[in-house]
Structure 1
């Protein structure tokens, strides 16, 4: 599904580039008003490609709604191709989050399309700027910021029957505290919306807030020119740090609760509390408590083997420190068995 979606998304980008031929350089220099004047009749080819993308969205929803896949979501990826696959990843994370929040099917479709197309405005940003390994200049950052408005203009002229995906493209870099771009919208850090808030144009749309969480998650867990991908535990730490001022706090809490950071079989070390320094292996994960697995202890803080059968349910130890995943080659289960045999004799 991912490779097919990437191809179809690539096709949309290519067709939009052809449809906007002659406006690309001007738009990059002069802003979104050039695109606003572009004919909304983008042709049957674009319509067919959007149809394929919508079919991908249906498959994506089917995949995410599959209980086994949803409950068995593995650790966040560490390495991936960032180009179009980033948009597919954002869609997958976004729809998972939307499903967790029990959004209706139409909202999930709009969320998936918005996520898939959220960065389409970057086709108007110089690739050298997008892939620059160092810090952007003020001029370069202004160029990058334009991708939200340009993306909005592009998506709203596509044959999509809802305005929400276009607003996702426009708003996904806004922040709860008003420090984002392009319009300095704000949020309430809540998921529920009063009737008045739903029509408040100074507030971020809920689907945009969910996309922002998914976008940050995908970006942090991918290799970029200026830094390596972060491990899953660090990604979630950064998300928590961004909750409140940047990202919707309740959306982050919902996202963190469903991500299985420590899949069964991963080796972990306790960072604090009663078992600080101890080493073990995850033997069970419970839906809704993905960050608090059951760990079978292998070695104590001094490196001595722990008797078999000692398991720690972190749900019962909420204040017992965080876990860190350790490389498989650190200490193997075989080595544990060997040390335990020696200790018994």
Structure 2
């Protein structure tokens, strides 16, 4: 995707997430969340329908949210993290989710409408490079496996937007995928790897520069050493796949196949059937198989990022 223009990248990402918004696999989402450190108590405080298995970490573990604060989640999806955050900031606080995808916003608002004690939650449509909120709104900004999906030219803008949005002394608590080394060009150009949160990953030095240039201080970036192959190794029922039989899972971070499915109940993943909408020819099938056999940990890692607005 390195050669693709910005609008095409946003289109492909949005298309992938529209498919992901239709997922109904609660057990898959639970297995992925637990692998990234979410506790049983935390998961019990999150509406099950909001957990689509799209996380690559737990930003709330480092956010230190307090009663009465305003927290903003960039790329909030179906509301997984922002619903949990809402219980931490309480009725006197505000929990605001920002997402560009209409299908994700529709799912999030539907969940909110059917759950009690969510009056402090709201969802706003917008891209995170142009957040439609007033400056100085947030005490804390969280984000989970989203910034890597932003086109490279827009990434510096995202960090400047976060800085603008925060109150003085405010903080960011982010979980994201970072590249451990320069990624091979064929991987960077692979749409499946891009919408799967891999090909767009920045290196650590780039992330530090984005934060510094935006005006952040006290920057802490740490590799969580989490196993990113959980996306590929987990079945829809939450069980672990047998080696040699796995295909990409239904996560943002599980690389999608080359040909996106339309109208499926989950984000698109390659299937064995020749009649699958996900496998239209032998080259697509071969690509899906190659993706499924990729050791993601060799190229990228799950990092936690914390910084304070000067």
Normalising by structure 2, what TM-score?
0.30
Normalising by structure 1, what TM-score?
0.27
The structure where strand makes up a greater share of residues is 2
The structure where helix makes up a greater share of residues is 1
Of structures 1 and 2, the larger Rg is shown by 1
